[in-house]
Structure 1
Amino acid sequence: MSRSRRHSHMRVARRRALQKAAVPHLVPCPKCKTPRLPHRLCPTCGTYAGRQVIRQEERKRAS
Protein backbone atom coordinates (compact mmCIF):
# COMPACT_ATOMS: atom_id res chain seq x y z
CA MET A 1 0.00 0.00 0.00
CA SER A 2 1.48 3.34 -1.00
CA ARG A 3 0.97 6.50 1.02
CA SER A 4 -1.02 9.29 -0.52
CA ARG A 5 1.07 12.24 0.70
CA ARG A 6 4.83 12.56 0.83
CA HIS A 7 6.40 13.74 4.10
CA SER A 8 8.77 16.68 3.76
CA HIS A 9 12.45 16.38 4.61
CA MET A 10 12.01 18.76 7.56
CA ARG A 11 9.17 16.72 9.05
CA VAL A 12 11.22 13.54 8.79
CA ALA A 13 14.29 15.28 10.28
CA ARG A 14 12.28 16.59 13.24
CA ARG A 15 10.93 13.13 13.96
CA ARG A 16 14.38 11.54 13.74
CA ALA A 17 15.93 14.19 15.99
CA LEU A 18 14.12 12.68 18.98
CA GLN A 19 15.62 9.23 18.39
CA LYS A 20 19.24 10.09 19.19
CA ALA A 21 21.05 8.04 21.81
CA ALA A 22 21.70 9.65 25.18
CA VAL A 23 25.33 10.09 26.26
CA PRO A 24 25.93 8.31 29.58
CA HIS A 25 26.80 10.63 32.46
CA LEU A 26 29.94 9.30 34.13
CA VAL A 27 31.20 10.26 37.58
CA PRO A 28 34.60 9.38 39.08
CA CYS A 29 34.72 6.63 41.69
CA PRO A 30 35.65 8.17 45.06
CA LYS A 31 38.08 5.32 45.83
CA CYS A 32 39.90 4.51 42.57
CA LYS A 33 38.92 7.59 40.46
CA THR A 34 37.91 5.56 37.39
CA PRO A 35 34.74 6.68 35.57
CA ARG A 36 31.55 4.82 36.46
CA LEU A 37 27.79 5.30 36.15
CA PRO A 38 26.12 7.12 39.07
CA HIS A 39 24.24 5.04 41.68
CA ARG A 40 25.96 1.85 40.53
CA LEU A 41 28.77 -0.41 41.69
CA CYS A 42 32.26 0.53 40.52
CA PRO A 43 33.35 -2.16 38.02
CA THR A 44 37.05 -1.64 38.79
CA CYS A 45 37.31 -1.74 42.58
CA GLY A 46 33.89 -3.23 43.51
CA THR A 47 32.77 -0.50 45.94
CA TYR A 48 29.41 1.22 46.31
CA ALA A 49 28.64 4.14 48.66
CA GLY A 50 32.02 3.75 50.39
CA ARG A 51 31.55 0.03 51.16
CA GLN A 52 33.35 -2.93 49.60
CA VAL A 53 30.55 -4.92 47.92
CA ILE A 54 32.50 -7.35 45.73
CA ARG A 55 35.92 -8.63 46.75
CA GLN A 56 38.67 -8.63 44.13
CA GLU A 57 39.15 -12.44 44.35
CA GLU A 58 35.49 -13.02 43.46
CA ARG A 59 35.76 -10.69 40.47
CA LYS A 60 38.86 -12.47 39.13
CA ARG A 61 37.23 -15.91 39.45
CA ALA A 62 34.04 -14.73 37.74
CA SER A 63 35.87 -13.32 34.69
Structure 2
Amino acid sequence: MATPARRQSRSRKLRRRATQKLTSPEIHWDNQLQEYVLSHHVSLKGYYHGRQVLHKPAK
Protein backbone atom coordinates (compact mmCIF):
# COMPACT_ATOMS: atom_id res chain seq x y z
CA MET A 1 0.00 0.00 0.00
CA ALA A 2 1.31 3.44 -0.90
CA THR A 3 2.14 5.81 1.92
CA PRO A 4 2.99 9.51 1.66
CA ALA A 5 6.66 10.40 2.01
CA ARG A 6 5.92 13.60 3.93
CA ARG A 7 3.04 14.89 5.96
CA GLN A 8 0.95 17.57 4.23
CA SER A 9 0.66 20.88 6.01
CA ARG A 10 -2.61 22.01 7.56
CA SER A 11 -3.03 24.88 5.10
CA ARG A 12 -2.47 22.63 2.10
CA LYS A 13 -4.95 20.10 3.43
CA LEU A 14 -7.60 22.76 4.07
CA ARG A 15 -6.98 24.34 0.63
CA ARG A 16 -7.62 20.99 -1.01
CA ARG A 17 -10.81 20.42 0.98
CA ALA A 18 -12.14 23.94 0.35
CA THR A 19 -13.49 22.93 -3.06
CA GLN A 20 -15.39 19.90 -1.75
CA LYS A 21 -18.61 21.53 -0.65
CA LEU A 22 -22.30 20.90 -1.24
CA THR A 23 -24.26 23.30 -3.41
CA SER A 24 -27.96 24.01 -3.16
CA PRO A 25 -30.12 23.15 -6.19
CA GLU A 26 -30.98 26.06 -8.50
CA ILE A 27 -34.71 26.55 -8.09
CA HIS A 28 -36.92 29.49 -9.00
CA TRP A 29 -40.58 30.46 -8.67
CA ASP A 30 -42.59 30.04 -11.88
CA ASN A 31 -45.51 32.49 -12.00
CA GLN A 32 -47.35 30.57 -14.70
CA LEU A 33 -47.37 27.28 -12.78
CA GLN A 34 -47.44 28.91 -9.31
CA GLU A 35 -44.78 26.52 -7.99
CA TYR A 36 -41.03 26.16 -7.61
CA VAL A 37 -39.21 24.46 -10.48
CA LEU A 38 -35.62 23.40 -11.03
CA SER A 39 -33.71 25.55 -13.49
CA HIS A 40 -33.03 23.90 -16.86
CA HIS A 41 -35.50 21.10 -16.11
CA VAL A 42 -38.98 20.28 -17.37
CA SER A 43 -41.59 20.73 -14.64
CA LEU A 44 -43.79 17.90 -13.46
CA LYS A 45 -46.67 19.31 -15.50
CA GLY A 46 -44.58 19.21 -18.70
CA TYR A 47 -43.67 22.90 -19.03
CA TYR A 48 -40.27 24.37 -19.93
CA HIS A 49 -39.71 28.15 -20.19
CA GLY A 50 -43.47 28.77 -20.20
CA ARG A 51 -44.21 26.38 -23.08
CA GLN A 52 -45.73 22.93 -22.77
CA VAL A 53 -43.20 20.47 -24.20
CA LEU A 54 -44.61 17.18 -22.88
CA HIS A 55 -48.19 16.24 -23.70
CA LYS A 56 -50.02 13.62 -21.70
CA PRO A 57 -52.00 11.23 -23.88
CA ALA A 58 -55.79 11.41 -23.60
CA LYS A 59 -57.36 8.37 -21.99
Verify same fold: TM over 0.5. Answer: yes
In the TM superposition, 1:1-63 aligns within 5 A as 1-43=2-44, 45-56=45-56
Question: Where do 5+ consecutive residues of structure 2 fail to align?
Answer: none
- Which has the larger strand fraction? 2
Give the alignment's TM-score, normalised by structure 2.
Answer: 0.66
Q: Name the amino acid aligned to 1:37.
A: L
Q: Provide the rounded CA distance (Å) in 1 between the counterparts of 2:4 and 2:49.
A: 55
- Which has the larger helix fraction? 1
Which stretch of structure 1 is more off in the superposition, 17-26 or 47-56?
47-56
Give, in angstroms, the shift of residue 57 of structure 1.
5.5
The root-mean-square deviation of aligned C-alpha atoms, in Å, is 2.2
- Which consecutive aligned stretches of 4+ in structure 1 deviate over 6 angstroms post-superposition? none
Give, in angstroms, the shift of residue 50 of structure 1.
2.0
